[in-house]
Chains A and B, each alone.
Chain A
Amino acid sequence: MTDKLLQISNLDIVLPEGSERDLAVKDLNIDLSPGETLCIVGESGSGKSLTARALMGLLPAPHVRVEKGTISFCGEDLTKASEPRMRQIRGSEISMIFQEPMTALNPVMTIGVQIDEVFRYHADMSKSERRQRAIELLEDVQLPDPKQIVAAYPHELSGGQRQRAMIAMALALEPKILIADEPTTALDVTTQAQILKLISEMQTIHKSGVLFITHDFGVVADIADRVVVMQYGNVVETGTVDKVLNKPEHPYTKALIASVPSLVPRAPRSRSDQVVLSGDKIQKKFGGGKSLFGLGKPNRFVHAVKDVTLDLRRGETLGVVGESGSGKSTLARCIIRLLDSDSGNIMLDDVDIRALNRAEMRPLRTKIQMVFQDPFASLNPRIKVGQIISQGPIIQGQSKEKAESRARELLDIVGLDERAFNRYPHEFSGGQRQRIGIARALALDPEILVADEPVSALDVSIQAQILELLDQIRESMNLSMVFITHDLRVAAQVCDRLAVMRYGEIVETGATGKIFENPQHSYTKDLLAAVPGQKWDRKVAG
């Protein structure tokens, strides 16, 4: 067994008393060979991140600690290694990249100084050698103009560049094992594709073993050699990527894979041609204001929505897709009048709602409602669920009794127990909270629902349930929906038509099937090409 880089046997990690379960990780057995990529997949709370931390000796002791089992790294048991020895190993032999490169890098130190630190602690090199090596590393990770980046601070780089710098740092001493904890989750899909490619290239060069932690089966399909599926701290299935993805055995793995939305668009539905909402040349700029008394320089402004024209027909779902910063959320907020747009028309039936003031807008609020992204931030923690749902109709002049009995009905419609009525939001899970948010939006019997990334904060199995719920209510209540998402897989399953946004502009619109088959704009092509796991999709489909 000595040719294995890493051998974890019977590992138990305990959680503090009073947690949901006693063991974060139970009886874990995994191994890793040189040059191999092992993916640990699981939903939130499955114990996958704690496993990585245990390897690095970075568990938040004393409350969370390794109870029993061994972590054998080239024959040495890391659970018994001393702290000085662990410091030697960290960075030089096992290194780690994190999910959010902005918080993993020190904001007050330049990239060069931070890479330099790695050498200063672990290697005996002169100052000029170290600087030379840092520049080489940045070149290796394909960062443009390494000499400038050495002197740059983290906030001066984009998310993708920061993650490249993190990788450069992690690879500085050619570690035998690279642990990557959701390294692309915070990145846009096109950047993600580049980073994944970079990691696998680096691995080929350095022959290191990569332990890749992710929740995304598309990513797994693209990079893994072997896969470990975890649920509630237990390993439910292990095997080669082909076996786990294409012939899963455990019911949980099967369920997980079944909930990954397919890239093959849904069959087009028949729809009416009646336009319920249309936007014409909507503009929104941020900033550009002057400071008090008009002193000083005017602020920089961002053109968040540029000349956007779109229409929504009765009963259809219009997807607005784009990467972060494309202005899709701003557009949604302009449509629902949370933000005032600068110019253009927003016609709801025959009224231009852009021109209305708040009082005039109030009665029209019943027609158009919103579902928000973050199920934790979108419900007031101090107000009971029943009140959250019923307060909309009460504001609009319904009697309290009527609104509350409707709220109870809605709880049932969104699949929650009626007892939820008298409980507070914090007693519910993310998926349940999102159901409450949907019930709140439905309480006013709207004709149009604007959903801003309604499933992006949820685990894949919950995501599938919420999408199904949205589909059901759309059918039963004949809703028209504007669906904002960055996830093309979700868009393929939900939307009848798509509008692709970049830098505040709609670059392409069309039926979902058409866009997926035959994208016209080069940006749409890039986006589609970057979706992870396409080969696997094709295999499943054909």
Chain B
Amino acid sequence: MADFWKRFSRNRQAVLGLIILCVVIFVAAIANIIYPGDPFLYSKFPLSAPGENGFLLGSDSIGRDVASGIAHGAKTSLLIGLIATLAAVFIGIIFGAFAGYYGGIVDDILMRVTEVFQTIPSFIFAILLVAIMKPSIESVVIAITVVSWPAVARLVRGEFLGLKNREFVQACHTLGMSDIRIMLAEILPNCLSPIIVIGSLMVATAILIESGLAFLGLGDPNVMSWGFIISDGRSMLRVAWWICTFPGIAILITVLAINLVGEGLNDALNPRLRERN
């Protein structure tokens, strides 16, 4: 673990990303303390510029506090990103593991199913799913999960294909180990590194999809989110630039930070030179 941290911290960008991410998580965690109450609550001061009337980042057309919206939206974005990714990784591992391990007809069937999901452009597919299910936080999570698991399945399948013929797996067969145990206890731990990396990058993608859906009005109407604020401020971009700009920056730096952390994890978990020396 200490070894892992040493390699991770060697990449300065990754450390910077981690710091930014921690700040975002911190803001999300204390959103209810710094901005208690409902972020949808409007005030008497519509369209205040940043700093005016006590609004740090200004207010929108009906006087809602943009800063409060960003703080509460951070919670939404991170939670949706995390839950959708965990679900997608879980489904992806099951599909990929069975397809890669058993090969043959099992592989054919599972991979054809995966490809059906991959042929539909993911964002349009997500829109379609949310539109069918009616916008709510659950449907957004489901939609993001459904469009993101195939990537994990492909990755896990590839790893399993490469590992299942290794001698240590054959040794388990000669000991009489069951297939499930070989998959879970022997092969899976060896492909955790790429799964963690792809998972971390998927959180960023999930946040983008969630913001996009909210921007199109397909987010949960009762939950504050960054996409919602941008969507709301878009018609007033020329008179009140701050409404769109600050949540936009929040999305940008959060996604960037997660990507940097993902890259750093990749470097730290897959040092190709570490083995065999």
Interface: A252 (CB within 8 A): no
Asked if A292 and B108 sit within 8 Å, CB to CB, the answer is yes
CB distance from B274 to the nearest CB of A (A): 8
CB distance from A41 to the nearest CB of B (A): 23
Q: Which residues of chain B in 171-187 are interfacial with respect to chain A, using CB atoms and an 8 Å cutoff?
A: 171-177, 181, 185-186
Q: Which A-chain residue is minimally distant from B168 (CB atoms)?
A: A380
Task: Given A338-B174, A395-B176, answer yes or no on A426-B189 (Cβ-Cβ < 8 Å).
Answer: no
Asked if A381 and B190 sit within 8 Å, CB to CB, the answer is yes
Set of chain B residues within 8 Å of A441, measured between Cβ atoms? 174
Set of chain A residues within 8 Å of B175, measured between Cβ atoms? 365, 391-392, 395-396, 440, 444
Q: Which A-chain residue is minimally distant from B188 (CB atoms)?
A: A382
Q: Which B-chain residue is minimally distant from A378 (CB atoms)?
A: B167
Q: Which A-chain residue is minimally distant from B275 (CB atoms)?
A: A426
CB distance from B143 to the nearest CB of A (A): 31
Interface: B276 (CB within 8 A): yes
Asked if A372 and B176 sit within 8 Å, CB to CB, the answer is no
Asked if A372 and B170 sit within 8 Å, CB to CB, the answer is yes
Interface: B44 (CB within 8 A): no
Interface: B166 (CB within 8 A): yes
Asked if B174 and A370 sit within 8 Å, CB to CB, the answer is yes
Set of chain A residues within 8 Å of B276, measured between Cβ atoms? 376
B175-211 contact mask (Cβ, 8 Å, vs A): 1 or 0: 1110001000110011000000000000000000000
Asked if B168 and A377 sit within 8 Å, CB to CB, the answer is yes
In angstroms, Cα B177 to Cα A379, docked, is: 15
In angstroms, Cα B159 to Cα A382, docked, is: 15
CB contact between B168 and one of A337, A363, A378 (< 8 Å): that residue: A378
Set of chain B residues within 8 Å of A535, measured between Cβ atoms? none
Residue in B168, B173, B177 with the greatest tally of chain A CB atoms within 10 Å:
B168
Asked if B186 and A338 sit within 8 Å, CB to CB, the answer is no
In angstroms, Cα B86 to Cα A444, docked, is: 39
Asked if A377 and B166 sit within 8 Å, CB to CB, the answer is yes
Set of chain A residues within 8 Å of B108, measured between Cβ atoms? 292
Q: Which B-chain residue is minimally distant from A396 (CB atoms)?
A: B176
Residue in A378, A382, A396, A426 with the greatest tally of chain B CB atoms within 10 Å:
A382
CB distance from B162 to the nearest CB of A (A): 11
Asked if A381 and B275 sit within 8 Å, CB to CB, the answer is yes
Q: Which residues of chain A in 386-409 are interfacial with respect to chain B, using CB atoms and an 8 Å cutoff?
A: 391-392, 395-396
Interface: A233 (CB within 8 A): no
Asked if A437 and B171 sit within 8 Å, CB to CB, the answer is yes
Set of chain B residues within 8 Å of A379, measured between Cβ atoms? 168
Task: Given A292-B108, A376-B276, A382-B189, answer yes or no on A370-B177 (Cβ-Cβ < 8 Å).
Answer: no
A71-91 contact mask (Cβ, 8 Å, vs B): 1 or 0: 000000000000000000000
Set of chain A residues within 8 Å of B173, measured between Cβ atoms? 338
In angstroms, Cα B170 to Cα A337, docked, is: 10
In angstroms, Cα B168 to Cα A392, docked, is: 13
Asked if B177 and A374 sit within 8 Å, CB to CB, the answer is no
Asked if A365 and B167 sit within 8 Å, CB to CB, the answer is no
Interface: A150 (CB within 8 A): no
**The 3 A-B residue pairs with the shortest CB-CB distance in the complex, in nearest-first order:** A378-B167, A392-B175, A362-B176
Interface residues of A (CB under 8 A from B): 292, 333, 336-338, 361-363, 365, 368-370, 372-374, 376-383, 391-392, 395-396, 426, 437, 440-441, 444
Q: A333-B170, A383-B185, A440-B171 are in contact. List 18 more A-B contacts (CB 8 A).
A: A338-B170, A338-B174, A365-B174, A365-B175, A368-B174, A372-B171, A376-B275, A377-B166, A379-B168, A381-B190, A381-B275, A391-B172, A392-B175, A392-B176, A395-B176, A396-B176, A426-B275, A440-B175
Q: List 11 A-B contacts (CB under 8 A).
A: A337-B174, A338-B170, A338-B174, A368-B174, A373-B167, A377-B166, A378-B166, A378-B170, A426-B275, A440-B171, A444-B175
